[in-house]
Structure formats: C-alpha cells, structure tokens
Amino acid sequence: MGATKRSVRHMGVDILSAVRTRGAYADQLLKSTFESEAILPADKALLVELVHGTLRWRGQLDWVLAELYHRNFRKVSTILKSILEISLYQIRFLEKVPHYAAVSEGVRLAKQLGGPEWGKLVNGILRNYLRRESSIKLPEVRHDPVAAISVRHSHPDWIVRRWLQRYGESDTVRYCTYNNQRPCLSARVNLTKTSSEELIAQLQELEVTARRSEYFSDYLVLSGLVNPADNLLFQDGFFTIQDQSTALASLLLEPEPGDRILDLCAAPGGKTCHLAHLTQDRAEILAVDVNKDRLAQIGESAKRLGLSSIKVKLTDARSLSGSTFDKILLDAPCTGLGVLSRRSDLRWCKQPADLKKIVAIQIALLQNAARLLTPGGKLVYSTCSLEPEETEELLDRFLQQNEGFALAGTDVLPLQKFASRDGFFRSLPHVHGTDGAFAAALVRTA
C-alpha cells in the first residue's frame, strides 16, 4: 500500500516542526511542498495561512497553551506542540473555520501522529480553551510593558525591549501590529513589456487585484495572488515580485546607461534586475554572490524579464578583487528584522548574538566594496534591517575610519518620503506600509 496522503493541516504541522527544530525557512518549505504535492489552489491558500498565521502568533499561542497545560509546556514534543499551535490558531484567529472542525482535525492528526494519548491530550486542551476563552487574560502593559507587548503582539521579548528603547511604547505596538498583519504582495512592472495600467487590467482578467504604489510609478500592490510562479504574466516576464522598499537602494544608486555596476550579495537578483531596467539594459552589471543555487536565480530572472546586461560571478564578496566600478550596490546580509511581516519565522530564529556576528560580516563587505569603487564613484549600502548596529552606527564607524568617503544625498523625488535628517533613507513598516529597509549612499572623494 502507498503512503497515506497528507492533509493540509498535516503539511502545516510538518513545516512548523521543521522551522522550530531545524531553523528551516517557512517559505522554502512551502515552495517545495507546492512542487511535490498535488494541491488545489484553495488548499494552497489555506496552507500558507495556517503556516504563516501560526508562526506570527506563536508567542501568544504558546503563552495560552502553557496556561492550559498542567505540566511544563516547554517539554512538550515539537510535533505535538505544532498540532496544538495550528489548532488553537484556527480557533483563536480564523473566523471561517468552525471551532468543532479545528478541534476534530487536531485530535485526528494527534491520533495519527502520536496515538490515542496524544488525541486525548489535544482534545482536552482545546476544549478547555473553548470553556475558558473569555476568562483568559493576557499580561497588562501597565505591569510589565516588555512581557505584555511580547505576549499580546507575539514578538520575542529581546526585540520588544530594543524597540521600546528606540521607538517608545506607541510606535513599538504599531510596529508589532503591522508585523502580525498579512503582508501586501508588491510587484515591479517590467516596463519594457507593458505599462502599469495595462498590467493592472491583465491581472484583473486572472482574478488578481492590483493598484498603483503610492511611492513608485513602476510598482503595484497585489491581492489574490497566492503562488506567483503559477501566474502566466509572471512566467512571461511582465512583472517580478518585489517589495516597494527594495526600490530605495536601486534608485539611490542612480544608475545610468554605460555605467560599470557591481551588485554585491546580489542573489536572488531582484535589485540586480531593477538596476538593469533603470539603465535600459545598457550598463555593464556584474552580480556577485557566494551561494551557487541562489546565484542561478539571477540568470533565470534576467532571462524571464528579457535582460542581457547582467553577468554573474560565484565568489565571496569579501575577497573579490580586480577591476573597479562606477557604481556599487551592497545589499548586505543582515538579521532581517525589518521584514518580520513577510518572514513570519524569522522573529523566532534570531537571537541577540546574531547581531554581533552579522555586523562583523557587514563591515568586512563594506570595506572591500569601498576598495572596488572608482574615485568619484557611488556606493550604496542597504539592509532589510533597521537595527542601529547594522545601519547608522556601522556607517558612522566606516566614515570615521575612511577619510576618502562622504555621505551623499539624492534628488530622486520618490526617495524624499523616506529621507531622514541624518542623511539616511529608511522605510518604516508601521509608517510606510512596506517592509523595513535602510539605505545610504557614499561617494569616493579621494
């Protein structure tokens, strides 16, 4: 007999367990599941919702489950914990799933994966929650702001503590609230093949709703697109999926036809292809990355979008040497704490020690990028993190140690909405409704 086909909830539990035990990326696991399993579109949407929703609210779900469990909830096995989390998420946050269905599916899955005892335990905890739901009180902000915001808004306490110190209570709550919303999907229009207006109409025919970005003329905000790879317009290169915040770095570089451009840490290539489009595909662009598989995605995207000006090189950007370049984009690896809305797993995978490790890599990358810049050239440093150690503090340290560089501004009008008094550019999720991003431009003066 063949293996029993997994239900959508079973797939969700497997993904949640892999994220917790292996630090696996939820989106990659979803992608591989879509490729290996025959799943209806409606079930794909449900699986995405169950995985990302449960991950976003894991902190609060675990707090509630610990209140209901009579022993130490931390010692519960990962699979059982995932079953309880995904079941409670449906009861607590999804209006379209009847409570009895969430309970019965949870119990059935528990019996299937752990036997009758697991089934009995899951049934008891979930029904206990339904009886006690109105009496469960979350921690109050007035007693302990860090603990309360951490539980109420499902963020690790170390992140909440940092943000409270930097943004204050009101903006920290707004930031966390944004991260717990289902993120908007943005697309950059391939203007060599279509216009924004034409693409909006074409997407509408495929039951995808699109509206113009309020910041950038070649970006759209989409709804109703679960898996872009299945969309015919995407396959034909009419658009690429890219958050609006990614435009900060590309536009700040101000690339022009004829420029020799280096894109460091370029994979998977969204910004690389944007640079090619901004130069009418008439620049020399070298895209460098250390990851072979991700580097291959740049070539695939360029081919899909009809671009020919991009060359790729597999190497560590910290040791790259040779020719100098007119323009360099360093979109540095970072903690990614600016994209917690989109990367629901990331908040649980990062620790404070990760900041120190990544900053050492970032400064090494920046130092080498500076060596590869032609005198008078422009270097843009960007991250999808807003943490000071990875952004303004790192740039300040670099400028103190390198006299031949200075901070540069820009006259690009759309970027003024993201400019700050310190000369840096930031997109703030709770302010701009985009991913969080940081970008700064440096010019080589000597």
Residues designated as active site: 384
Please state, as a whole number, how many other Cβ atoms lie within 10 Å of the Cβ of residue 239: 28
User: How many angstroms separate the Cα of 365 from the Cα of each of 146, 387, 409?
Assistant: 34, 18, 22
User: How many angstroms separate the Cα of 445 from the Cα of each of 315, 375, 379, 394, 442?
Assistant: 28, 6, 12, 19, 9
Q: Which residue is associated with the tokens 């302010």? A: 431
Rounded to whole angstroms, the Cα distance separating 382 from 334 reads 9
Please state, as a whole number, how many other Cβ atoms lie within 10 Å of the Cβ of residue 398: 18
Closest C-alpha among 217, 179, 215 to residue 200:
217
Rounded to whole angstroms, the Cα distance separating 381 from 367 reads 11
Rounded to whole angstroms, the Cα distance separating 258 from 363 reads 29
DSSP 313-359: EES-TTT--S--EEEEEEE-----TT-TTT-TTHHHH--HHHHHHHH
Rounded to whole angstroms, the Cα distance separating 382 from 248 reads 8
Which residues on adjacent β-strands are paired with residue 21? none
Map residue 431 onto helix, strand or coil: helix
Residue 4: phi and psi, rounded to 5, are: -65, 135
Question: Inter-axis angle of helices 99-114 and 8-22, to 10 degrees?
Answer: 60
Closest C-alpha among 381, 383, 382 to residue 373:
381
